[in-house]
Amino acid sequence: MPVDVVIAGGGPNGLMLAAELGLAGIRALVLEREPELVPRHRANGLIGQVVRLLDRRGLYQRLSGSPGPPEPVPAFVFGGFPLPLAELDDNPLYALGVPQHRVEQVLEERAVELGAEVRRGHELTGLSQDDDSVTAEVAGPDGEYRLTTRFLVGADGGRSTTRKLLSIGFPGVTRENVVSRVAHVTVPQELLDERSGGLDLPGYGVVPPFLHHRTERGVVTFAPWPDRPWMVSTMEWDPDADDQAPMTLEELRASVRRVLGVDVPFQALPDGHLRRVVGGNTRVAERYRDRRVLLVGDSAHVHSALGGPGLNLGLQDAVNLGWKLAAELRGWAPPGLLDTYEPERRPLAERVAMHTQAQSALLSPGPEITALRELFAELLRDPGTVQHLANTMSGADVRYDLGDGHPLVGRWAPDLLLDAPTGPVRLAELTATGRPLLLGAPDPLADAARGWADRVDVVTAKTDAPAMLLRPDGYVAWASDSPAPDPASLTEALTRWFGPTR
């Protein structure tokens, strides 16, 4: 019997997709080549709209360990510049400082709770497809075998086997001369700057914490995490770096010495992480779908990690794809629904590629870059520029083309506090099921939506916001401010996004 969906890759994006499918009653089988989940130095946290997305799936509290909703951060960085976000009237940038292995652990637990199967030590090696199914060739601990599935999704990273098997082009830019080095370290107490929390280095001055600190020779970052090992990292533009020899602490010290011009006597932790990365890629797949095979996350796009946009982009890919794929499998998807995945998500990957390359350019060495940074610092005195960058980095400026009409249509639904008979309820408490929602609808609209009761929930709680129809990914598909809205316009939106009535 065919599996509903096979997901190649058990990282955050593949696991998030499995959980989203599970919410819709679709069983996913996840193939992950790593035999077990082990802590690794990858993403240090989550930045942007994805934090609120996890809140709306009931996962934020699991990850944060705190009972309350997320709050926007008072400051962040762009290209090595501090962004004073607390000064904004509408701060859209949220952050959650949780290492990637913990994100994967929580998402795997959730996916399994919802019926997914995760096979560790199993890897996709080949595939073929016809009009009705995909045959996946898999290598596992006990040998090779085949699986038949209705759809296959590649969530297997920047070197995606899935993408290569489909011969999907991956155009973009490769930079060979950028070298990043990082280690978990301890720092002598006397070098800590009490005022900023950064490093106060004799002969140099203060290196602020959690900021890409640029000089004419490179970049140093000091990250004194409150609940994790401290980290020192560097970026240099060195075309002759040796990528074959093992990374050492002395190599990192020498890199810091070149960038800052002074020695920093830090020590590696006994099990401290030492890592070197030479070069970098910015690439976006030519297409995200080949009939019954789709790409999600890093298999569809890779870019610099500056600003931490990777999981913000990839996890939202998974949520956008999840409900559409489930609708197709459950038989109520309107024609062309699955085809909307790529045109909605690919432009956002191109936008992330743009702003991460811009940040890399602002950190590069050279007097002309220093001049550019002086000009950029002047622009950042305008709160409008800070707002624009915050919206860009968070994804708050995203607006899908979901039809003409109300200004909320196509945008992320605002956080709402609704007045229910049992008391105030947050919108995030209503979206944890992953079902479409009709909010604040008067009786004629609720009556019009009855034909979609098997797939759309009508919420009668009162709100000061307009009546809204929300897609499962949190975006507004229809809205009306009218006290007597036209049921026909709602019926059109329901049919367009959630198919005809049964």
Q: Which of 235-239, 319-323, 426-430 bottoms out in mean pLDDT, i.e. has the lowest?
A: 235-239
pLDDT in tens, 67-126: 889 999 999 999 999 999 999 999 999 999 898 889 999 999 999 999 999 999 999 999
Length of the chain: 502
Question: Do 107 and 19 reside in the same domain of the chain?
Answer: yes
Q: Is residue 425 part of a domain?
A: yes
pLDDT at residue 281, rounded to an integer = 92
Average model confidence (pLDDT) for the chain?
A: 93
pLDDT at residue 242, rounded to an integer = 73
Count other Cβ atoms within 10 Å, centred on residue 493: 20
Q: Which of 24-38, 236-250, 400-414, 463-477 bottoms out in mean pLDDT, i.e. has the lowest?
A: 236-250
pLDDT at 49 over 80: yes
Question: Do 436 and 465 reside in the same domain of the chain?
Answer: yes
pLDDT in tens, 436-473: 999 987 778 888 899 999 999 999 888 888 999 999 99
- Bridge partners of residue 476, in order along the sequence: 470
How far is C-alpha 297 from the chain's CA centre? 8
Q: Is residue 358 part of a domain?
A: no
* Alpha-carbon distances, residue 78 vs 210, 290, 373 (angstroms): 12, 36, 11
Provide the domain count of the chain: 4
Question: Do 389 and 423 reside in the same domain of the chain?
Answer: no
pLDDT at residue 40, rounded to an integer = 65
Question: Do 309 and 195 reside in the same domain of the chain?
Answer: no
Q: Is residue 57 part of a domain?
A: yes
pLDDT at residue 316, rounded to an integer = 97
> What CATH number is associated with residue 493?
3.40.30.120
Using alpha carbons, select from 84, 57, 82 the residue that is nearest to residue 70: 57
351-355: long-range pairs with CB below 8 Å, 24+? 351/392, 352/301, 352/303, 352/309, 352/313, 353/172, 353/282, 353/283, 353/284, 353/301, 353/303, 355/307, 355/309, 355/392, 355/393
Question: Do 133 and 269 reside in the same domain of the chain?
Answer: no
Question: Do 188 and 215 reside in the same domain of the chain?
Answer: yes
Judge if pTM exceeds 0.85.
yes
Q: Is residue 356 part of a domain?
A: no
The more confident residue out of 43 and 492 is 492
Q: Is residue 349 part of a domain?
A: no
pLDDT at 324 over 80: yes
Q: Is residue 350 part of a domain?
A: no
Question: Do 108 and 18 reside in the same domain of the chain?
Answer: yes
The more confident residue out of 477 and 420 is 477
Q: Give the integer Cα–Cα distance in Å for 333 and 151.
A: 15
* 8 A C-beta contact, residue 22 and residue 325: no
Using alpha carbons, select from 14, 23, 9 the residue that is nearest to residue 326: 23
pLDDT at residue 127, rounded to an integer = 97
Q: Give the integer Cα–Cα distance in Å for 310 and 314.
A: 6
Q: Which of 132-136, 173-177, 243-247 bottoms out in mean pLDDT, i.e. has the lowest?
A: 243-247
Provide the pLDDT confidence category of residue 143 given band limits of 50, 70 and 90: very high
Question: Do 57 and 39 reside in the same domain of the chain?
Answer: no
Question: Do 242 and 178 reside in the same domain of the chain?
Answer: yes
pLDDT at residue 41, rounded to an integer = 61
How far is C-alpha 62 from the chain's CA centre? 17
What would the mean pLDDT of 280-309 be, rounded to a whole number? 95
Question: Do 163 and 55 reside in the same domain of the chain?
Answer: no
pLDDT at residue 1, rounded to an integer = 61
- Residue percentage of the chain with pLDDT more than 90: 77
Q: Which of 185-189, 395-399, 407-411, 459-463 bottoms out in mean pLDDT, i.e. has the lowest?
A: 459-463
Provide the pLDDT confidence category of residue 150 given band limits of 50, 70 and 90: very high
Q: Which of 281, 301, 327 is the last residue of a domain?
A: 281
- Bridge partners of residue 7, in order along the sequence: 30, 153
Using alpha carbons, select from 476, 455, 459, 501 the residue that is nearest to residue 25: 455
- Bridge partners of residue 129, in order along the sequence: 134
Q: What is the dihedral of CA 500, 22, 50, 476, to 10 degrees?
A: 10
Question: Do 386 and 424 reside in the same domain of the chain?
Answer: no
Rounded to the nearest 10 degrees, the angle between the axes of helix 310-330 and helix 341-363 is 170
Count other Cβ atoms within 10 Å, centred on residue 186: 12
Measured over the CA atoms of residue 37, residue 41, residue 44 and residue 47, the dihedral's sign is negative
Q: Give the integer Cα–Cα distance in Å for 204 and 183.
A: 21
pLDDT at 63 over 90: yes
pLDDT at residue 52, rounded to an integer = 96
Token output for 149:
């599935």
Question: Do 231 and 311 reside in the same domain of the chain?
Answer: no
State which residues form the domain around 380: 45-98+364-398
pLDDT in tens, 3-13: 899 999 999 99
* 8 A C-beta contact, residue 77 and residue 210: yes
pLDDT at residue 42, rounded to an integer = 67
pLDDT in tens, 207-220: 999 999 999 999 99
